[in-house]
Amino acid sequence: MVRERRYYVYIMASKSRVLYVGVTGFLMARVLRHKAGEGGAFTRKYRVHRLVYYHSFQNVGDAIARETEIKKSRREKKVALIHADNPTWEDLSAGWGEAAVMRVSGTAGRRVKGRDGEKDINGPPKHGPCLQRPC
């Protein structure tokens, strides 16, 4: 199955609401680079680290044209664009790049087979038929 390519126009903001408009084919990677201070001199200088708006496109030409249109527009139009989808200017990328927390259900797979034979991974059962007879 071939995965469809996507392109993104995005707006980053600082806490004081300095804006940066960009285009990319890999939104998460690009945003994480901005957050790491690798986005360029402007975004480093003004600490533009919060993703406040993005829109995806199938065609790279359409994405570039939209980026150009947004960059040429007045600040009021950019703010209105952000406010329409994200009125509180929340960081849409909050949590990206952080370690994922995995949770294992206590009912799933009580025994695991390894080099040393089978062993309980969740300890002995607390209830059920295994209390009356060996499992």
In a domain, 125, yes or no: no
The CATH number of whichever domain residue 106 belongs to comes to 3.40.1440.10
In a domain, 127, yes or no: no
Indicate whether 26 pLDDT > 70.
Answer: yes
Indicate whether 7 pLDDT > 90.
Answer: yes
Over range 74-81, report the average pLDDT: 97
In a domain, 131, yes or no: no
pLDDT for residue 43: 85
In a domain, 113, yes or no: yes
In a domain, 133, yes or no: no
In a domain, 130, yes or no: no
pLDDT for residue 44: 86
Domain count, the chain: 1
In a domain, 3, yes or no: yes
The most confident of the ranges 27-31, 93-97, 127-131 is: 27-31
In a domain, 132, yes or no: no
pLDDT for residue 37: 87
Domain holding 50, by residue range, is: 1-120
| % of the chain exceeding 70 in pLDDT | 76
Over range 122-128, report the average pLDDT: 50
Distance set, CA 21 to CA 49, 89, 100, 131 (Å) = 12, 15, 29, 63
pLDDT for residue 108: 55
